[in-house]
Amino acid sequence: MTSSVKRTCGDCTLCCKVMAIEALAKPANAWCPHCRPGRGCAIYAKRPDECAGFACLWLVNDLLDEGWKPSRSKLVLTTSDDGIEIRCDPGSPNAWRREPYASDISAWAKEGEINDMTVVVIIGQRVILVTPDREFDLGIMEPDERIVRELEGAKVVGATVVKASEIRRG
Protein backbone atom coordinates (compact mmCIF):
# COMPACT_ATOMS: atom_id res chain seq x y z
CA MET A 1 0.00 0.00 0.00
CA THR A 2 1.27 3.44 -0.87
CA SER A 3 0.56 6.12 1.65
CA SER A 4 -1.73 8.89 0.49
CA VAL A 5 -1.05 10.79 3.68
CA LYS A 6 1.45 13.64 3.46
CA ARG A 7 2.42 13.86 7.09
CA THR A 8 5.32 15.75 8.58
CA CYS A 9 6.92 15.54 12.00
CA GLY A 10 5.86 19.07 12.90
CA ASP A 11 6.31 19.49 16.65
CA CYS A 12 7.05 15.79 17.18
CA THR A 13 10.63 14.93 18.14
CA LEU A 14 10.10 11.74 20.16
CA CYS A 15 12.26 9.65 17.80
CA CYS A 16 15.15 11.96 18.76
CA LYS A 17 14.75 10.62 22.29
CA VAL A 18 13.83 6.93 21.99
CA MET A 19 16.00 5.91 19.03
CA ALA A 20 19.75 5.34 19.20
CA ILE A 21 21.78 7.30 16.65
CA GLU A 22 24.99 5.43 15.98
CA ALA A 23 26.61 8.23 13.94
CA LEU A 24 26.28 10.57 16.93
CA ALA A 25 27.03 7.91 19.57
CA LYS A 26 23.61 8.79 21.02
CA PRO A 27 22.07 6.00 23.07
CA ALA A 28 18.38 5.18 22.98
CA ASN A 29 16.19 6.91 25.56
CA ALA A 30 18.26 10.07 25.87
CA TRP A 31 17.59 13.29 24.00
CA CYS A 32 19.85 13.90 21.04
CA PRO A 33 22.06 16.88 21.87
CA HIS A 34 20.98 18.49 18.60
CA CYS A 35 17.25 18.10 19.26
CA ARG A 36 15.16 21.01 20.36
CA PRO A 37 12.21 19.09 21.86
CA GLY A 38 8.95 20.19 20.26
CA ARG A 39 10.81 22.29 17.69
CA GLY A 40 13.12 20.04 15.68
CA CYS A 41 16.75 19.41 14.84
CA ALA A 42 19.38 22.13 15.18
CA ILE A 43 21.54 20.38 12.53
CA TYR A 44 18.69 19.32 10.24
CA ALA A 45 20.50 20.19 6.99
CA LYS A 46 23.58 18.22 8.12
CA ARG A 47 21.91 15.48 10.16
CA PRO A 48 23.29 11.93 9.86
CA ASP A 49 21.98 9.68 7.09
CA GLU A 50 20.31 7.40 9.65
CA CYS A 51 18.23 10.37 10.81
CA ALA A 52 17.50 11.60 7.28
CA GLY A 53 16.37 8.11 6.24
CA PHE A 54 14.21 7.45 9.29
CA ALA A 55 10.42 7.57 9.19
CA CYS A 56 8.24 6.18 11.94
CA LEU A 57 5.16 4.22 10.91
CA TRP A 58 2.86 7.11 11.81
CA LEU A 59 4.52 9.22 9.11
CA VAL A 60 4.08 6.63 6.37
CA ASN A 61 1.06 4.48 7.24
CA ASP A 62 -2.48 5.61 6.44
CA LEU A 63 -3.91 3.10 8.91
CA LEU A 64 -2.51 4.96 11.91
CA ASP A 65 -4.70 7.93 12.77
CA GLU A 66 -3.67 11.21 14.41
CA GLY A 67 -3.90 9.62 17.84
CA TRP A 68 -0.84 7.53 16.97
CA LYS A 69 1.35 10.59 16.34
CA PRO A 70 4.30 9.91 18.67
CA SER A 71 4.08 13.28 20.43
CA ARG A 72 0.49 12.38 21.38
CA SER A 73 0.70 8.63 21.93
CA LYS A 74 4.19 8.65 23.52
CA LEU A 75 4.96 5.69 21.23
CA VAL A 76 7.27 5.47 18.22
CA LEU A 77 6.36 2.59 15.90
CA THR A 78 8.91 1.07 13.55
CA THR A 79 9.27 -2.15 11.62
CA SER A 80 11.98 -4.74 12.04
CA ASP A 81 12.90 -7.82 10.03
CA ASP A 82 10.52 -9.75 12.29
CA GLY A 83 7.55 -7.42 12.74
CA ILE A 84 6.60 -4.27 14.62
CA GLU A 85 8.57 -2.53 17.36
CA ILE A 86 6.77 -0.13 19.68
CA ARG A 87 9.15 2.16 21.57
CA CYS A 88 7.67 3.86 24.62
CA ASP A 89 8.77 7.24 25.83
CA PRO A 90 10.59 6.31 29.06
CA GLY A 91 8.60 9.08 30.75
CA SER A 92 5.37 7.24 29.80
CA PRO A 93 6.30 3.55 30.15
CA ASN A 94 2.68 2.38 30.25
CA ALA A 95 1.45 4.39 27.25
CA TRP A 96 1.12 1.18 25.24
CA ARG A 97 -1.37 -0.18 27.78
CA ARG A 98 -3.81 2.73 27.29
CA GLU A 99 -6.62 2.72 24.79
CA PRO A 100 -6.88 2.80 21.86
CA TYR A 101 -3.28 1.63 21.67
CA ALA A 102 -3.68 -1.55 23.74
CA SER A 103 -6.50 -2.84 21.52
CA ASP A 104 -4.56 -2.11 18.33
CA ILE A 105 -1.42 -3.77 19.70
CA SER A 106 -3.47 -6.83 20.69
CA ALA A 107 -4.96 -7.01 17.18
CA TRP A 108 -1.47 -6.76 15.65
CA ALA A 109 -0.29 -9.59 17.90
CA LYS A 110 -3.17 -11.78 16.65
CA GLU A 111 -2.35 -10.92 13.05
CA GLY A 112 1.33 -11.48 13.75
CA GLU A 113 0.71 -14.98 15.03
CA ILE A 114 -1.04 -15.85 11.77
CA ASN A 115 1.72 -14.29 9.64
CA ASP A 116 4.78 -15.29 11.74
CA MET A 117 5.53 -11.71 12.73
CA THR A 118 6.40 -10.36 16.17
CA VAL A 119 5.05 -7.42 18.13
CA VAL A 120 7.62 -6.11 20.56
CA VAL A 121 7.24 -3.30 23.09
CA ILE A 122 10.48 -1.59 24.09
CA ILE A 123 10.61 0.45 27.29
CA GLY A 124 14.13 1.73 27.80
CA GLN A 125 16.19 -1.43 27.28
CA ARG A 126 13.40 -3.69 28.54
CA VAL A 127 11.71 -5.75 25.86
CA ILE A 128 8.27 -7.34 25.99
CA LEU A 129 7.10 -9.78 23.31
CA VAL A 130 3.34 -9.43 22.93
CA THR A 131 1.34 -12.43 21.74
CA PRO A 132 -2.42 -12.97 21.54
CA ASP A 133 -2.38 -15.04 24.73
CA ARG A 134 0.27 -13.43 26.88
CA GLU A 135 3.22 -11.11 27.27
CA PHE A 136 6.77 -12.38 27.57
CA ASP A 137 8.81 -9.86 29.59
CA LEU A 138 12.29 -10.57 28.30
CA GLY A 139 14.01 -8.03 30.50
CA ILE A 140 16.90 -5.90 29.34
CA MET A 141 18.23 -6.85 25.94
CA GLU A 142 21.58 -5.88 24.50
CA PRO A 143 21.96 -4.88 20.82
CA ASP A 144 23.71 -8.17 20.02
CA GLU A 145 20.86 -10.26 21.43
CA ARG A 146 17.85 -11.72 19.66
CA ILE A 147 14.50 -13.17 20.64
CA VAL A 148 13.96 -16.86 19.98
CA ARG A 149 10.33 -17.96 20.09
CA GLU A 150 9.20 -21.47 20.97
CA LEU A 151 6.22 -22.38 18.81
CA GLU A 152 3.49 -24.99 18.92
CA GLY A 153 2.15 -24.65 15.42
CA ALA A 154 1.78 -20.88 15.02
CA LYS A 155 1.22 -20.28 18.74
CA VAL A 156 4.10 -18.81 20.77
CA VAL A 157 4.46 -20.84 23.96
CA GLY A 158 7.85 -19.59 25.08
CA ALA A 159 10.46 -16.96 24.36
CA THR A 160 14.11 -16.57 25.32
CA VAL A 161 16.90 -14.15 24.57
CA VAL A 162 20.16 -15.38 23.03
CA LYS A 163 23.29 -13.83 21.59
CA ALA A 164 22.91 -13.32 17.84
CA SER A 165 26.09 -15.34 17.31
CA GLU A 166 24.43 -18.38 18.94
CA ILE A 167 21.57 -18.52 16.43
CA ARG A 168 22.12 -21.19 13.83
CA ARG A 169 21.55 -20.12 10.29
CA GLY A 170 19.56 -22.69 8.37
Residues in the chain: 170
pLDDT at 35: 95
Q: What was the pLDDT predicted at 6? A: 79
Give, for all 170 residues of the chain, the pLDDT tens digit: 345 567 899 899 999 999 999 999 999 999 999 999 989 999 999 999 999 999 999 999 989 999 999 999 999 999 998 899 999 999 999 999 999 999 999 999 999 999 999 999 999 989 999 999 999 999 999 888 999 999 999 899 999 999 988 887 64
pTM of the shown model:
0.90
CA dihedral 43, 49, 51, 54 (to 10 degrees): 150
Task: Return the pLDDT at 4.
Answer: 53
Q: What's the pLDDT at 118?
A: 95
- 3-class secondary structure per residue, the chain: CCCCCCCCCCCCCCHHHHCCEHHHCECCCCCCCCEECCCEECCHHHCCHHHHCCCCHHHHCCCCCHHHCHHHHCEEEEECCCEEEEEECCCCCCHHHCCCHHHHHHHHHHHHHHHCCEEEEEECCEEEEECCCCEEEEEECCCCEEEEEEEECCEEEEEEEEEHHHCCCC
Which pLDDT does position 62 carry in this prediction? 87
Distance, in Å, from the CA atom of 73 to the CA atom of 7, rounded to the nearest integer, reads 16
pLDDT at 169: 60
